[in-house]
Structure formats: structure tokens, C-alpha cells
Amino acid sequence: MERAKKMNILVLMKQTFDTEEKIVLQHGTIIESGVNFVINPYDEYGIEEAIRIREKFGGEVTVITVGPERSESALRTALAMGADKAVLVDSEDFDLDEYSTAKVLAEVIKEYEFDIIIGGNVSIDNGSGQVGPRVAEELGIPQVTTITKIDIMGNEALIERDVEGDTEIVQVSLPVLVTAQQGLNEPRYPSLPGIMKAKKKPIERIAFDDLFIAEDVEVKTFVTETFFPMEKKDGQILKGQIRDQVKDLANLLRSEVNVI
């Protein structure tokens, strides 16, 4: 049975490096000038699912991001995909981590009525997967991560989630926060009419200082060093009898890897 009440869906979105971009480090800092930024790919699944839910039940999709002014381009893309509204919390002059970002998002969300909050499973830059669950904890609502399917029935949702190659089925009451995993859907491309309409759709801007929670968003995580992974050496193929290969492997582990 389909839900009679229209659905208010919030989507947590982050703007990240395009996965095709080459990362440049200078004095341990990632250089952003000239780099193309996109919607975090996992968040695209969240935006698409939110639009599909609204198309089925009616309602409204609002996309929220915490980021610098350049994040407006990602919000415009989300609006062109079909989102109704967008919110940009300007963090241009602040260095936030997952803890403080979740605090900010929760403070903003408290001003909204919502049935579902959807975020990406992880961001492709930091990959922590913390922000969604932390927001749910701040709001005191259930959370289900890495979802691959969601069906809404009345005031409940039946959700399938990925658990390392297997599937877990969870039934949960609304409101709920979920995070999207690859396989949930296939995100649509913005259409030309959608792009034109997005130019007229509202983006609410919130100054960080207007939230009055500065004392609650102290950063808990500090980056001490940023560096590229060490180049891997070419692999070796051991030949000969099994006994000889075992001896050669043991010698390599002792002399080159220092593990035995």
C-alpha cells in the first residue's frame, strides 16, 4: 500500500574531486586550483533515490551541503536532476571534520520537517562513512547504512542493505536516515529543461556564524600529514619445485620484507 502522505526528503550532499582528476600535492597540501569538482558519486545515488520517492509519493526533495562557495555548482546539478530546493552552509573559512560537519548538518535539519534523510555511503575523498550515522545520532532517529533497495509502506520502510557480499533486510519506522550504496539505482543525467529550471530554483545560504553552535563544533580529527602511497615494486614469480619455491619465499620474507 502506497503512503498517502507526501514525503519530505532531505539529501546530504558533498562536492568532491572529479575521480578523473590528477591530485597535486604542494608542501603536504592538495592544490585545488584548476581542478574539476563534482557531486560525490555515492551522493548521486541518494539524490536519484530521493527524486524517485518523490515521483511515487509526491512531496519535496531538499539537498543540503556544508562547503565552500564553489559547492553551489554541485547544488545546481542536483537541482537540474530534479531536486526542488537546495541549502548551502558556507564553511569557506572553517576546517571541519566528520564530527563538526554532522553537528552543523543536524542543527540545520532541526528546522525542517522530514520523513527520510538520504546520504551517500562514503565520500570518495575521505571515505570515512561517518557523517550520515553521526547526523542520525544527533537527531535521535534510526539509521540504516549501505542500502541497495528501499520500499516505503505507510509509516515504515523495508530496506535491503549490503553486508560484504550478502544482503540484510531491515524494517524500520520513519523518520529514518539511510546511506546509499552502489546498486541502489542508476542516477539520471540532468536534462536541458532541468538545467534551465535549476537556474531559477532557490538556494538558501546559511552563514556558519548564524548557527550559534560554534562551541559545539570543535574539530576532533587533525590531519598531520598528506602524502601519496609508496610506489609498489614489481611482483616476483617463484619457479621450480614447490619445496624450492617455499625456501625462496621464506628467504624473500626474511631479507626484503622483514616479517620473519
Average pLDDT across the chain, whole number? 88
Residue 1 has pLDDT above 60, yes or no: no
Give the CA distances from residue 123 to residues 12, 36, 219, in Å, rounded to whole numbers and listed in that order: 11, 16, 18
Q: Which residue has the higher pLDDT, 131 or 33?
A: 131
pLDDT value, residue 79: 96
- pLDDT band per the 50, 70, 90 thresholds, residue 121: very high
Cα–Cα distance for residue pair 58/125, rounded to 1 Å = 33
CATH number at 7-216? 3.40.50.620
Residue 202 phi, psi dihedral angles, 5° rounding: -75, 140
Instruction: Please state the pTM of the whole predicted model.
Output: 0.84
pLDDT of 119: 95
pLDDT at 93: 73
List 79's β-bridge partners, or say none: none
Structural domain boundaries in the chain: 7-216, 230-260
Range from 5-19, 76-90, 121-135 that averages highest in pLDDT? 76-90
152 three-state secondary structure? strand
Alpha-carbon distance 9 to 27, whole Å? 42
User: Is pLDDT of 133 > 60?
Assistant: yes
What band does 3 get if pLDDT is binned at 50, 70 and 90?
very low
Q: Which long-range contacts (CB under 8 A, 24 or more apart) does 16-25 make?
A: 16/40, 16/123, 16/124, 16/125, 17/124, 17/125, 19/124, 23/228, 25/226, 25/227, 25/228
4 pLDDT band, cuts 50/70/90, is low
DSSP label at residue 201: S
**pLDDT-derived band of residue 185, with 50, 70 and 90 as boundaries?**
very high
Q: Whole-angstrom Cα distance, residue 130 to residue 113?
A: 23
User: What pLDDT shows up at residue 2?
Assistant: 46
